[in-house]
Amino acid sequence: MSDLAYLSIAEGSVLIRDKKLSPVEWTQALIARVGQYDGRLNAFLRFMPENTLSDARRAEAEISAGYWRGPLHGVPYGLKDIIDYAGLPTTAHSAILKDNIATADAFVTQRLRAAGAVFMGKLSTHEFAIGGPCFDLPWPPARNPWNRDYFCGGSSSGSGVATAAGFVPFAIGTDTGGSIRNPSTMCGVTGIKPTYGLVSRRGVFPLAFSLDHVGPLTRTVHDNATVLNVLAGHDGLDPGSIARSGVDYTAQIKKGLKGVRIGWLKHFYHDDIKADPQMGAAVDAAVLKMQELGAQVTVVKTVPLSQFQACNRIIMRSESYAIHQKWLRERPQDYGDITRQRFLYGAMYSASDYINALRMRSKFTADFHALFNDVDVIVTASAHDPACRIDDHEACEFIYSRQARAPFNVTGSPAIAVPAGFSREGLPLGIQIVAAPYNEAAVYRVGAAYEAATAWTAQHPVLPA
């Protein structure tokens, strides 16, 4: 069971295609693992073992008949519970939506069904993808598999936990201000926020329409690119969706770093918000390792991190308040305290605040993307701190804004979080790699080369019994 728990998509896919591994066997092992360990980690809000086995048997029957749908055929996965799966509740981890049954699949769910993937269930999230680790909701918060007393990041918390804990080889999350990359960094997995519009948001409960992204969390860079190959695609029913076809995001993964131009965005975590020494040293060491591998490294600068954060904050809070205004008036008691407070902040911004933030967003985005005239990717911090204790509300609030992820929701750029070591306490550290719009292949190339030169992804947590 342990071997199958940490089987990669790349390895499992080949074994399934060649009929050396049964999707049912793999799924049964993961079902047993979830049953044994998730009671202490709370990754799943809705675990679906019978439906999962039905999917696995269908996948196995198709493969036995000589019909192989591709590299996700027979591969188990989970969905963050703001993503619709027809016939199941989409709760957003909130009492507000506890009885909300999805009438249709989200676009990404449709894609994964068509690819033959095996659905394991719905995963924990911060309430409405914003609340933080709350203890006043109908379901408990997810916990870090490296130490259950610690925060696992969010808001795609269950997606990060399930992937790191060996419950699923991949999960789907969402990212409005860093919500894929935060749990990826805290849990020691790889997660990408693709270019805005590359993956449709149809069927995903919105947090902020102009900042929301959907993307995969996996344990390796190659697996991440494999999943994005399935998720990416134009959707005429999502007004933000863009049309790009024929891209293989795995194509550059084995090219290495020789000649790659890396921009080192140091001031985000050295000057603007000074990172915890362990996290700062991990990011520095990762850039130097990339230089050893043949990359050309130059220091780059953009506007201060605080300006990006303020821009993201005003847009996110204004748009999210507009979405939740009716419920905040009629059912305020049904939100968790943290969530309600964060949404109500949006009521304090004026229309001119929002419009000015959008104007600044355009300027910041143009200036930032101009940096890619001279570099291929930019490397900086993801989180500024390792995980804190989950029951320390002040510490969780403190580290929540100490991050360099929100700028790339503002710019819409592809950004990936990749593991970069461990703290003295044994908690994961990570880096962030960013590229120009639609250049996901570049972040995968750099991330894969760094991953191959280190041993971080080969280490897995010892789960609490």
**Dist. CA 331–CA 317, nearest whole Å:** 19
User: 204: which strand partners?
Assistant: 83
Q: Which residues of 22-35 are buried (b: 16+ CB within 10 A; e: fewer)?
A: bbbebbbbbbebbe
The helix/strand/coil state of 39 is helix
Tokens of 164: 């790191």
The set of catalytic residues is: 80, 155, 179
Question: Could you tell me the sign of the dihedral formed by the alpha carbons of 97, 101, 107, 113, in that order?
Answer: positive
d(CA 364, CA 21): 49
Give CA–CA dist 417/431, Å, rounded. 6
Answer left, alpha or beta for residue 161, where phi above 0 means left and psi between -120 and 50 means alpha.
Answer: alpha
Q: Rounded to whole angstroms, what are the CA distances from 72 to 158, 230, 407?
A: 21, 8, 32
How buried is 70 (Cβ within 10 angstroms: 0-12 exposed, 13-18 middle, 19+ buried)?
middle
